[in-house]
Chain A
Amino acid sequence: MDWLYVLMPIAGIKIFWPGLIILGIGVGIIGGFFGMGGAWMVTPGLNILGFPMAFAIGTDIAHMAGKSLISTMRHGKFGNVDYKLGIIMLVGTIVGFEIGAQMVMWLERIGQVEKYVRYLYLILLALIAWMVFADVAKKKRKEREAAAAGKEVDKLATGLDWAKTLHKIKIPPMVHFKEAQIYCSAWLPIFVSFMTGWLAGILGIGGGLIRMPALIYFVGCPTHVAVGTDLFEVMISGLYGTATYTYKGRTELVAAMIMLVGAAIGAQVGTVATKYIKGYGIRIAFGLCVIGCALSIILKMMAKWFPAYGGVYDGAATVLILGLVSGMSLYIFVRMMAGAKREIAAKKAKAQVSVAR
């Protein structure tokens, strides 16, 4: 069974390469569907396969840049990427990220980094999960009220409307974002991207997990455009992260290439699946992912608080993350296949009708 293992030239360890492809497929599906890089899933996955943590992070970022490019190409064809919005947000993201990273260095020097970063991550995930489900609840209430009044809710109507209030801030320059269908001050996306970049820098993540809901709830993008535009940002910040980590000598390009084989397939599945699932379906699935991520962090913290059961809690966190990745990928894959079958059947029926005429 030696042929199932590849010796990594830089890390100097043998890795089970089918595991890399499976991880790439799973994260490609989830990333293409939610608009995330998936660092919170891939890094522990690579660590489990045998990579030392620094290599797991660097390799993940390298693969994430390539995978996001593939997903962005596909989302772009659907009209889901607002490049103007993405480029404007880059300014805030990079500045915010650097400030966040510098704050981590400062927290490390005063010996407080572990505590603050973990608790900040948990608070943030709880806030995101609350936002998503409060939004879903409010939207359902609007639908019930509309049904009671004998009316129909608009196709683009949403629950939480914070973005509409923020669009009223008229600080020039005012910009029209065509794909996102919003007209607002350029400072709104810059400020939002600065905050998400700052949080990503502190937490050491790509930022998709934070930026995607921020694009929806604060900038006011429709869900599909938030997914596509976020992937565009992840692609660029991923390349920047790749350069940094590779220069530090912590990227295993061979592993990243193997993962990209899987991610190329997964990203297509995840992106095309967004065609068949409406915006709120994506939001609910995202909310569940966020809750799963928060639970895995709590389990990791419990491993530290109760060292006697550390192995059990660590194992449970790993099982939870891998289970979440597998379960979510399978759900998205099944929905994509069902949607694709319906579309192809409808096309055939239409073709037969035209021939009959």
Chain B
Amino acid sequence: MRKLWAKIVGLGVIATLLLPEIVAAAGPKAAPLVIVADTRKFSGWEAWWTNLYNESHLYFALLTVVIIPVVGLIFGVLADLIMGHIGLDLKSRELAEH
């Protein structure tokens, strides 16, 4: 009987979690402040980058989302190579809580 109740309570919790729109938060959103980057001070890639920002936030965001993990990966691999040369075992560790 206790197990049955536990299952019913558990299923009730799950049903609640599966209805994400329960929280009534619909409403008009405030318009965000628009920032325009000043391209006059830049040349070369900086000017291109600033112009891209002004022209299309969507492409700017897509490029940022691609660049961040790529640069992270490059730095991670470089750091891996450097740490490997130090002579530490970077593939295993002892698991212990105390």
Instruction: Show the binding face of A for B, using Cβ within 8 Å.
Output: 7, 9-10, 12, 62, 65-70, 73-74, 77-80, 92, 95, 98-99, 102-103, 105-106, 109, 139, 143, 153, 155-158, 169, 171, 187, 190-191, 194, 222-225, 239, 242-243, 246-251, 253, 256-257, 260-261, 263-265, 267-268, 272, 274-275, 278-280, 340, 343-344, 347
Chain B residues within an 8 Å CB radius of A223: 97
Question: B residues 16-40 with Cβ under 8 Å of A?
Answer: 17, 20, 23-25, 27, 29, 32, 34-35, 37-38
Contact of B95 among A106, A224, A340, A347 (CB under 8 A): A224
CB distance from B73 to the nearest CB of A (A): 7
Q: Does A194 contact B17, Cβ atoms closer than 8 Å? A: yes
* Most-contacted residue by chain B among A9, A156, A261 (CB, 10 A): A9
Cross-chain pairs A/B with CB under 8 angstroms, 8 sampled: A69-B72, A156-B95, A156-B96, A169-B6, A242-B61, A249-B57, A264-B78, A268-B83
B67 and A253 form a contact (CB under 8 A): yes
The 4 closest A-B pairs by CB, nearest first: A102-B25, A66-B72, A279-B97, A264-B75
A185 and B82 alpha carbons, distance in the complex (Å) = 41
Do B71 and A248 touch across chains, with their CB atoms under 8 A apart? no
Partner of B93, one of A70, A73, A275: A275
- Known contacts A10-B35, A70-B75, A190-B17; A106 and B25 CB within 8 A of each other: yes
Does A157 contact B53, Cβ atoms closer than 8 Å?
no
Q: Which of B10, B20, B61 contacts A99 (CB 8 A)?
A: B20
Residue positions of B touching A, CB distance < 8 A: 6-7, 10-11, 13-14, 17, 20, 23-25, 27, 29, 32, 34-35, 37-38, 41-42, 46, 49-50, 53, 57-58, 60-61, 64-65, 67-69, 71-73, 75-80, 82-83, 86-93, 95-98
Residues of chain B within 8 A (CB-CB) of A69 are 68-69, 72-73, 76
Is the CB–CB distance between A139 and B98 below 8 Å? yes
Chain B residue contacts of A12, Cβ below 8 A: 37-38
Contact assessment for A74 and B96 in the assembled complex, using a CB-CB cutoff below 8 Å:
no
Q: A10-B53, A65-B68, A239-B68 are in contact. Are A249 and B35 (CB under 8 A)?
A: yes
Whether B73 and A9, one on each chain, are in contact in the complex, defined by CB atoms closer than 8 angstroms, is no
Q: A73-B80, A153-B98, A275-B93 are in contact. Are A103 and B23 (CB under 8 A)?
A: yes
Question: Which of chain A's residues has its CB closest to B37's CB?
Answer: A10
Given contacts A78-B92, A242-B68, is CB(A280)–CB(B57) below 8 Å?
no
Q: Closest Cβ of chain B: how far from A111's Cβ, in Å? A: 14
Q: Count how many pairs of residues, one from A and one from B, have CB atoms less than 8 Å apart in the complex.
A: 175
| CB–CB A78/B93 < 8 A | yes
- List the A side residues contacting B17 at CB < 8 Å: 92, 95, 190-191, 194
The answer, among B53, B76, B95, for a CB contact under 8 Å with A73, is: B76
Least Cβ distance of A258 to chain B in Å? Answer: 11
Q: Are A171 and B97 in contact (CB under 8 A)?
A: no
With both chains docked as a complex, state the minimum distance between the C-beta of A257 and any C-beta of chain B, in angstroms: 6
Given known contacts A275-B93, A279-B97, A70 and B25 CB-to-CB distance under 8 angstroms: no
**Which residue in chain A gives the minimum CB-CB distance to B96?**
A155
Q: How far is the CA of A65 from the CA of B95 in the complex (A)?
A: 27
Shortest distance from the beta carbon of B69 to any chain A beta carbon, whole Å: 6
**Contact indicator A246/B20 (Cβ below 8 Å):** no
Which residues on A sit within 8 Å (CB–CB) of B34? 249
Complex CA–CA separation, A131 to B50 (angstroms): 47
Among A68, A171, A280, chain B packs the most CB atoms within 10 A around the CB of: A171
Chain A residues in 8 Å Cβ range of B11: 171
* B75 near A98: Cβ-Cβ < 8 Å: no
In addition to A105-B29, A264-B79, A344-B86, 10 A-B residue pairs with Cβ atoms within 8 Å of each other are: A9-B46, A10-B50, A69-B72, A69-B76, A74-B79, A80-B93, A265-B79, A268-B82, A279-B98, A343-B89
From the candidates A95, A105, A187, A243, name the one contacting B20 in the complex (CB within 8 A): A95
Given known pairs A158-B97, A222-B97, the reply for A340 and B71 (CB within 8 Å) is: no
Shortest CB distance A142–B (Å): 10
Closest to B25 in A: A102
Asked if A9 and B37 sit within 8 Å, CB to CB, the answer is yes
Q: Select from chain B the residue with minimum beta-carbon distance to A67.
A: B72
Known: A247-B57, A265-B79. A242 touches B92 (CB 8 A): no
